[in-house]
Structure 1
Amino acid sequence: MKKLIFVIMASALLLSCNRENENMYENDLSDIATVDNSAQSTKFFLNLDNKERLYTMVSDLRYYRPKDGQRVIANYVILSNKSDTSTYNHDVKLIDVYEILTKGIFRIKPVQQDSIGNDQIEIRQMWIGSDYLNVEFSYPGYNKIHFISLISDSTKTYTDNKIHLEFRHNANGDYPSISKWGMASFDLRSLQSNATNDSLQLVIHTKEYRSTGDNTYSMTYKFNTPSLVSARKISIPKNAEKAY
């Protein structure tokens, strides 16, 4: 009889824990963040693009040690809110993470044009947040690594007093069989030395499908300005692919 009571109590406890976990994950959030982890620890800070700061108190990714400065889409649950005097805003449980391709601006030389590539690509979203140009894109591929870059080409001149950059894709000769998804973040802070105030006007050139020439995206880069754009607007598809 005691054994039966113990089994019933254990089953009820297990059911309660499962329901608690389900309720927790129903309240999960996803945001774009920059990793703050100079110690290469399994517990680290996430600086969101809206300037909130999270501490990964608990993680489902037991051995995950992201490098400092890595851009990610973090899926998490808030465990507690910190006081106004704290150096961060929330303790969180990290559920999952997608590592965003994180690069700077590449200043291209004429001899490097072929290696950088200029293959067509589909741009899904493009915006600036927390000093990064964020680009969500897709392309057809199969089994080869694709390369993504944001370049500055000094051989091209413009008279509009704006900074012109090119989003480049190198398909590496891949066979266009399966649609693949990716995301990249490019650090724009190196451009601030060209500014006379707290913002710059940018024009991003792209070579996209269903377009005969360059497409352009005009945007204002305001330094150190929080972004209201969240990864909640981005669902990570099954065809997510890591580019380089």
Structure 2
Amino acid sequence: MNRTALRIAFVSILLSAVACNKKEDHSLGAFHIDIATVIPTGESGYRLLLDNGKQLWPVATDVYYLPSDDQRVFVNYTVLSGRQGNYDHYVKVNDIWNVLTKKIIGPATEHADSIGNDPIIINDAWIGNDYLNIDFLFNYGGVRPHAINLVTAPKPAASVPDTIELELRHNAFGSTSQRLYEGFVCFDLKPLQRADTDSVILALKAREGEETKRVDLVYRYNQMLVEARLTTPIPVVSSNEYY
């Protein structure tokens, strides 16, 4: 197992301890793990926007990280202060690693050769900070990374108005593995915003074996979660194994 996988597996074991550290604890021994959006500041600096709207300013770090625009990350951090200027907290970044962050593509018929139609299971899906976050299971294996994409789909005649049909697609590139692994991906929803309404309904579908699962979500533009959430252990399989 590579260093990234070992690190993530170790963090997964510690998630139960994280819940106990969610108070405003500024102890150097306390830590938090959250999903965040990276916002670069200057040549190599960055700030972090949590899905509950809080902004973190990394004033210390244990790891080198090169930021890029609109990259989603898991971040392990220690709170060093209360509110300072425009920031809710100054923090020390203990570890940070990128989450696969992608644009929606479509329609499916135009990308049939690349998106595949292999089974994929939606464990959980929710919206935060204009991103659709999906925790999924897939039969990882083979000699190359698998492809995970979100594509627009034709709207059924009986669909509810203002509903956008989306399909989570998986290309296993011929892998015959039946062993399930957990993955995590974020999709940018901002291109789906419309000027004539402040929200749309997303009908998210995925082929789970012989059946299709559907999850309906309401996307309210620019709305933060009341409480940033991480409902599942961070996947042991990193985004190096899928793209």
Structure 1 length-normalised TM: 0.80
Match for 1:220: what amino acid? V
2:70 matched residue in structure 1: 69
Q: Could you give the per-residue CA deviations for residues 34-79 of structure 1, whole angstroms, max 9, x where no partner exists? A: 00015341x3100111000001111111x21121210011110001
Choose from 40, 45, 56 the match for 1:54. Answer: 56
Is the partner of 2:114 in helix, strand or coil?
A: helix
- The 3 A distance-change label for structure 1 pair 57 and 208 is same
Shift in alpha-carbon separation, 1:169–1:197, aligned structure 2, 3 A: same
1:35 counterpart = 2:11: no
Alpha-carbon shift at residue 241 of structure 1 (Å): 4.3
Q: Work out whether residues 41 and 47 of structure 2, in 8 Å CA contact, stay in contact via their aligned partners in 1.
A: no
1:1-244 alignment runs, 5 A limit: 24-25=28-29, 27-41=30-44, 43-61=45-63, 63-83=64-84, 86-108=85-107, 110-142=109-141, 143-154=143-154, 156-159=155-158, 160-161=160-161, 162-176=163-177, 178-193=179-194, 196-209=196-209, 212-228=210-226, 230-242=228-240, 243-244=242-243
Q: 1:163-220: per-residue Cα shift (whole Å, max 9, x none)? A: 1111111111224164322111111111112x632111111011114xx331100111
Checking the alignment, whether the CA contact within 8 Å between 1:40 and 1:67 is kept in structure 2 is no
**TM-align CA RMSD:** 2.0
* Percent of pairs with identical residues: 36
Distance 1:126 1:227 in 2: 13
SS at match of 1:115: helix
- Cα displacement (A) at 1:98: 2.8
For 1:231 and 1:74, the matched residues in 2 are separated by 13
CA contact (8 A) 1:181 1:241 kept: no
Structure 2 Cα separation of the partners of residues 199 and 65 of structure 1? 34
What's the offset of the Cα at 1:233? 2.7
Structure 2 match to 1:6: none
* 5+ long unaligned stretches in structure 2: 1-26
Mark the structure with the bigger radius of gyration.
1
Structure 1 distance, partners of 2:94, 2:157, is 46
- Greater helix percent: which structure? 1
Query: Does structure 2 retain, via aligned residues, the 8 Å contact 1:180–1:241?
Result: no
Number of residue-to-residue matches in the alignment: 213
Q: Is the Cα contact below 8 Å between 1:30 and 1:231 reproduced in 2?
A: no
CA separation of 1:184 and 1:93: change in aligned 2, threshold 3 A: same
Q: Name segments (4+ residues, structure 1) moved above 4 Å.
A: none
In the TM superposition, what whole-angstrom CA distance separates every residue of 1:111-159 from its partner, at most 9, and x where no partner exists?
A: 42131111101211101111111001121222420111110134x5443
Question: Structure 1 CA distance, aligned partners of 2:108 and 2:229?
Answer: 34
Q: Note closer, same or farther for the CA distance 1:134–1:158 as it changes in structure 2 (3 Å cut).
A: farther
Give the 3 Å change call, closer, same or farther, for CA 115–221 of structure 1 in structure 2. Answer: same
CA distance in 2, matches of 1:101, 1:238: 14
Contact map agreement 1:180 1:240 (CA 8 A) in 2: no
Partner AA of 2:74 in structure 1: I
